[in-house]
Amino acid sequence: MIPHETWLEMAVELALESVREAGGRPFGAVIVKNGALVATGVNELHRTGDPTAHAELQAIREACVRLDTPRLDGCTVYASGHPCPMCLAAMHLCGVDACFYAYSNAEGEPWGLGTAPIYEQLAKPLAEQSLYIRHMPVRPEGEDLYEVWARTRKG
């Protein structure tokens, strides 16, 4: 079995390669299942302009395609940096079992790469967050959205 440190080194090497060769942000991710490499990803914001193109999400997208499932149960994510709240939420949503990261939020903070302020915002009740977010239960006439989904979904 390959040790966690080896997979983490791979994630950091991917990040270094992305920085050196493409001018990307310093983030790489590796997804492993049953001791085998499933997918990799690097931050592609610089290339795509997509602020959600984080290394972990790119790797999750690739893993889901390769495994032909939206579930990543049994998988481990190895990330060069502390996953942001968006990436952490994605790991929860798709069932990743574990995540290891090489660089902490505190280490990224001096470089403008920490996400601790976002974690702090998300820990507050919705009404106290800096993003204005409110529930407005508007329902157009006709069929209920979730009832239609329940009737038409497969499996």
**pLDDT tens per residue, the chain (155 residues)?**
899 999 999 999 999 999 999 899 999 999 999 999 999 999 999 999 999 999 999 999 999 999 999 999 999 999 999 999 999 999 999 999 999 999 999 999 999 999 999 999 999 999 999 999 988 999 888 889 999 999 998 75
CA-atom Rg of the chain in angstroms: 18
Q: Is the four-CA dihedral 85, 86, 92, 96 of positive or negative sign?
A: negative
- Return d(Cα 103, Cα 84) in angstroms, integer: 12
Active site residue 56: yes
DSSP letter at 83 equals P
Q: From the candidates 21, 44, 56, 147, give the one annotated as an active-site residue.
A: 56
- Return d(Cα 2, Cα 6) in angstroms, integer: 7
